[in-house]
Amino acid sequence: MTLEIEPPGTRPPTPPAPQAAPPDLRLTGPGVRLAQVKEEFVAWVKTLMSAAVYAVLIVTFGFQVARVEGQSMAPTLEDQDRLIVNKLVYRIGEPRRGDIVMLYYPLNPDKSFVKRVIAEEGDTVRIVDGRVYVNDIPLKDDYVPSEFRSHDDWGPQVIPEGYYFVMGDHRNNSSDSRHWGMVPKRYIIGKVQLRWWPVPTARVF
């Protein structure tokens, strides 16, 4: 084995040791913390105000939350059911037979009811022993149980232009167009779109 000795001055210089990076400078103290809390509070207030504005716009122009009071629409809707009413749908369209609607009570517009549209303008309605006929055709109303049917007579009468004939599904326990007449379209607030409470019976209409 041969041992080689390097002559003086031939060894490469030793590289300098790496310098430690300067510490990260961060501002700390009560004043900085207070500024952070203030910024977070302002952001929270902005979010809350935006949500409130959106809620007002939705309720005013699009949808409304409503609660059923009474049994006039049973069994389709029960007392204390919570509903979402679509107020926009009738601004771009017309109520149709079978729609469940929220409306102002024609004899006292401070009150509102939920009923089902039975006939539209131009239709002829008559009721014989509780059986409803629209344009001389028996109304298909399988949603009304036999024990909820009435035995009254009404009409015949033609629905005037711009008006609707409405009834409750609980025929023998409902105050409706048989008693207080037709409903003008301007009194129809919107279409019942959803029952969201109670949750087990939630459904879209």
Q: pLDDT tens across 41-62, in order?
A: 877 766 776 555 445 545 566 8
Does any domain span residue 15? no
How far apart (Å, rounded) are the C-alpha atoms in residues 205 and 199? 15
Range of the domain at 100: 62-204
Contact call for residues 104 and 151 (beta carbons, < 8 A):
no
Question: Over the stretch 141-168, which tens digit does the pLDDT of each residue have?
Answer: 999 999 999 999 999 999 999 999 999 9
Does any domain span residue 66? yes
The predicted model gives 20-26 an average pLDDT of: 50
Does any domain span residue 114? yes
How far apart (Å, rounded) are the C-alpha atoms in residues 101 and 133? 20
Does any domain span residue 129? yes
Question: Over the stretch 71-85, which tens digit does the pLDDT of each residue have?
Answer: 999 999 999 999 999
Number of Cβ atoms within 10 Å of the Cβ of 58: 14
Cis peptide before 12 (omega within 30 of 0): no
Tally of structural domains, the chain = 1
| Range name among 62-66, 111-115, 167-171, 174-178 with the lowest pLDDT average | 62-66
The answer to pTM > 0.85 is no
Number of Cβ atoms within 10 Å of the Cβ of 81: 21
Q: Amino acid identity, residue 118?
A: I
Does any domain span residue 29? no
Return the active site residues: 72, 115
Does any domain span residue 148? yes
How far apart (Å, rounded) are the C-alpha atoms in residues 173 and 11? 109
- The H-or-E segment that residue 183 falls in is strand 183-184
DSSP letter assigned to residue 199: G
Domain of 175, CATH number, reads 2.10.109.10
